[in-house]
Amino acid sequence: ATGERLFDRASFLPVLDAGVAVLQPDLSHAGGISEVRRIAALGETHGALLAPHCPLGPIALASSLQVAFATPNFLLQEQSIGIHYNAGSAELLDYVIGREPLAFPAGHIERWDAPGLGIEVDEDAVRAADAVGHRWRSPVWEHP
């Protein structure tokens, strides 16, 4: 599996030719819904599955899920709800009104029929977070 640092269809072709089994494009970096759908279709012609990389916010997750719902070679969806690097700071779902569309009971998600991406951004929460700012830095993990 690979692809979270590849940003267009052309970049995925060499790894597909090398035999990668799972493509992991990040919609926030690889051209959004349209380009990732094209990457998924390219992967399908090579027998590869799609598992979108998505460690970012609720808009990226909702966008990734829209691709998943429409992609026959979809495998699984990465998401960062409740993950360790959000501990002590804002949680991904703090920025949406109504967490139900992005709930994963028993590890699965139900396709919703709400318009657009299916979520409503809590603009007041986003403005409040912007006023405070952040001190987030890339985590450094060291191993012996």
CA distance 12 to 129: 36
Residue 85 is predicted with a pLDDT of 56
Residue 82 is predicted with a pLDDT of 67
Residue 54: inside a domain: yes
Residue 63 is predicted with a pLDDT of 95
Residue 73: inside a domain: yes
22: domain CATH number is 3.20.20.120
Residue 142: inside a domain: no
- Each residue's pLDDT, cut to its tens digit, for the chain (144 residues) gives 999 999 899 999 999 999 999 999 999 999 999 999 999 999 999 999 999 998 888 899 999 999 999 999 999 998 877 665 556 556 778 889 988 888 888 888 888 888 899 999 999 999 998 898 777 777 777 888
Residue 144 is predicted with a pLDDT of 82
Residue 115: inside a domain: yes
Residue 64 is predicted with a pLDDT of 95
Residue 140: inside a domain: no
Residue 99: inside a domain: yes
For 45, the domain range is 9-132
Domain count, the chain: 1
Residue 1: inside a domain: no
Residue corresponding to tokens 């990389």: 53
Residue 4: inside a domain: no
